[in-house]
A and B are shown apart, each in its own frame.
Chain A
Amino acid sequence: MSRSVQDSGASLKIVGGRLLDSLDTDAENTALLIKDGHIVAMGEAAARASADGTVNAEGCVISPGFVDLHCNLREPGNGQKGNIESETRAAAHGGFTTVCASPETSPVNDSGAVTNLIRDLASNRASVHVLPVGAITRGLEGELLSDMAGLAAAGCVAVGNGGRGVRNARVLRRCMAYAQTFGLTVMFRPENQALAADGYAHDGVVTSRLGLLGIPEVAETTAVMEMILLAEETGARLHLSQLSCARSVEMLAEARSRGIAVTADVAIHQLLFTEDALAGFDSRFHVRPPLRSERDRKALLAGVRDGVIDAITSQHQPHDTAAKQAPLAATEPGLSTIESVLSLGLELVELNELGFPELMRALTSGPASVLGRTARLAEGEVADLCVFNPEHYWTPADDTLLSVGRHAPVTGREVPGVVRLTLAGGKVAWQHPET
């Protein structure tokens, strides 16, 4: 493929792939012409047009670029764990063209100044679009309202708790009312801190056997119910992040049936792994919320299939090696997942646990709509797209992954789905060496 496609005015043609545009379009052997960062022609017109470069996408799927609602880029502040440059390159490797940056940075993204810093860094170094999420409370400490007007003005797409709890329901209620003032979606990972306490694993049979400190399901479900009721009362637009429990899905469905504006996502690893993954004290699988029971996993999958859960997120949390090299309780939670979301999703398709269109919806149009956006491949649209071969297998290894985080859930195991090309804003964000 021609590198000149990145230059202003250069054009790129993608031919021979299967175009999958959300659920509306599924066309074989099609063509796309991209110029000036946009899709300028499709189908026959594109096939006939000449271009500066051509990509043969035979055997591949051409889909809208994936959108990640929760990704830790670690910058500013945690350079040893990753940075905007490394982690957005990893995102592009995974087929993502847009990532929402968690407010859990240092300093916390709780003001327009920090948001502007992130946007500046991203504009110079990011391979994909970076959408900052602001902190819902100052310093993410759960006590004082953050500068939401400033966050919104600086370009935050939502405000969230970044995985930390807000102990005080009165503060939470005010946060939601205040966010609603500025039309900011509240992205909240539901967790009652008092009930989660010092736990780090699902409170279930594995925890009991291994003597690990458990986080009970009610730590999530009581928070889900609280958030739903507060959203209903304040009129705030609520997005529940990283659900892990079957009961949460039930409550979500019930709330939606009552017309409450609530959406939700689930992390990819919650759909594949259960509490059993911790049975050998494998610190990679120390994640928060914890991996739960098989019953929970099945319910989360059903939620994605039914569309009750809108999106699959990477919940990417890169760490340095030292963060995971200790007895389980002393390790930091989080998996390095952004490069393997597609592959893990395709494994679910192979297992007949998830349909391919549902997987694509949860990676593209689902999360885009949570952000009030679209993810479409159509003439005139920005060229955010991913070309991948679902039937090619690869073995993620430390030397093939681009994230600074080395604790991927699939390292050393052959998985389906090789991303051939990722275009973000028409620019090549990732290109497989063999493409």
Chain B
Amino acid sequence: MTANDPSPHHLQLTRDGQLRHFLTLDGLSRDLLTDILDTADSFIEVGERTIKKVPLLRGRTVVNLFFESSTRTRSTFELAAKRLSADVLNLDISTSATSKGESLSDTLLNLEAMASDMFVVRHSQSGAPHFIAESVTPGVAIINAGDGRHAHPTQAMLDMLTIRQHKGGFEGLKVAIVGDVLHSRVARSQIRALNVLGVAEVRVIAPGTLLPKDVESLGCTVYYDMAEGMKDLDVVIMLRLQNERMEGALLPSEREFYRLYGLNRDKLALAHPDCIVMHPGPINRGVEIESAVADGPQSVILNQVTNGIAIRMAVMSMAMGGQLAERQRTQTQGGQV
């Protein structure tokens, strides 16, 4: 027996199945993920215009709540919100309210009092955006910009957009995720997205110390040997390796990691010739990936960055749309009563 339905499905979707928050890919259907990708596709063109704006969030206030710093992710969310014509407030919470002893709940109450419409949340603890989504006033959308080791759903979706652009779809693809899966919120979201979108096989390639317990239950096959895992690959996604992994006795040295799991031209040659190389950035050259590969013809790393803005525009506009539809429905029902 377990507690009541723990699925986040009901938290982040409206009764009509529209996005209300964007917290995790768990519980989201293939149709919805495809919808996000299609919407993002339509926004790519906005970035190519002279005036890079659409009015979808005009008059709305988006607050970037970053409890841990991340210049790159925050910038793309900021740019996405501005391209949707929202007013954007960037708050680096890690150095302000909570460090003065204020609880997260109190911080939220204060921010809500400023009549915000959407919080983009980055937090070091898994589940923090869920907690915030459960705490905020109805009508305020929460977008997860990465929580602990749990999820980074917009990063995974921009990766999916990149794969679709280069491979045309997902059917039959063999995809490997290489490196520190244990600590990676990106990997968890990627594995989920790839499975929902119907790839043929998801592999994780890593030493035992960098894999979560029962990792196969996430929907992947484990390879300890990179040469074995690279065979017949269509997509290889490298993960970032944090320096502190050496100090935590998870790895003996960066050099050994690079020798065994770093992506160089020789290892890439074991995959399909048209295999694309991805990395969520920032890259540790010579630790996870050889420069010649990162900058080589099979690398799509910069495409990922460009696609990040379009995906974030899609998710923000869809969540705001879901909140609006729900509010209208509630008002209509209230009127009927």
Instruction: List residues of chain A with CB under 8 Å of any chain B CB.
Output: 203-205, 207-214, 216, 272-274, 276-285, 322, 325-330, 347, 351, 409, 413
Contacts and interface: CB of A to CB of B under 8 A. Distances in A.
Contacts of B110: none
A276 B3 contact: yes
A273 B148 CA distance: 25
Contacts of B104: 326-327, 330
Nearest to B132: A327
B7 A204 contact: no
A273 B2 contact: yes
A396 to B, nearest CB: 14
B6 A280 contact: yes
10 contacts: A203-B213, A207-B212, A210-B126, A211-B126, A214-B213, A274-B2, A276-B2, A327-B127, A327-B128, A329-B125
B22 to A, nearest CB: 16
Interface of B: 1-8, 11, 26, 103-105, 123, 125-128, 130-131, 135, 147-151, 185, 188, 212-215, 217-218
B213 A204 contact: yes
Contacts of B149: 211-213
Give the dominant DSSP class at B's interface. loop
Contacts of B26: 209
Contacts of B212: 207-208, 211, 214
A326 B6 contact: no
A280 B4 CA distance: 9
A351 B131 contact: no
A282 B103 contact: no
B217 A330 contact: no
Q: Which 6 A-B pairs have the closest CB atoms?
A: A211-B149, A280-B6, A279-B6, A281-B127, A208-B212, A211-B150
A214 B123 CA distance: 19
A211 B187 CA distance: 10
A413 B8 CA distance: 20
Given A211-B126, A274-B2, A329-B148, A281 B131 contact: yes
A312 to B, nearest CB: 16
Nearest to A281: B127
Contacts of A325: 103, 105, 135
Contacts of B1: 272-274, 347, 351
Contact of B6 (A212, A277, A327, A330): A277
B213 A327 contact: no
Contacts of B4: 413
Given A281-B127, A327-B125, 15 more contacts: A209-B217, A210-B127, A212-B126, A212-B127, A214-B213, A273-B1, A276-B3, A278-B6, A281-B126, A282-B3, A283-B131, A327-B130, A328-B126, A330-B104, A330-B125
Contact of B126 (A276, A327, A351): A327
A327 B98 CA distance: 13
Contacts of B105: 322, 325-326
A211 B3 contact: no
A279 B7 contact: yes
Nearest to B5: A280
A284 B214 CA distance: 25
Contacts of A329: 125-127, 148
A291 to B, nearest CB: 9
A296 to B, nearest CB: 13
A204 B148 CA distance: 17
Contacts of A208: 212-215, 217-218
A285 B3 contact: yes
B108 to A, nearest CB: 10
Nearest to A293: B214
Contact of B151 (A211, A214, A280, A284): A211
A347 B6 CA distance: 20
Nearest to B67: A327
A347 B1 CA distance: 10
A322 B126 CA distance: 18
A383 B108 CA distance: 52
Nearest to A272: B1
A327 to B, nearest CB: 4
A154 B262 CA distance: 64
A284 B6 CA distance: 12
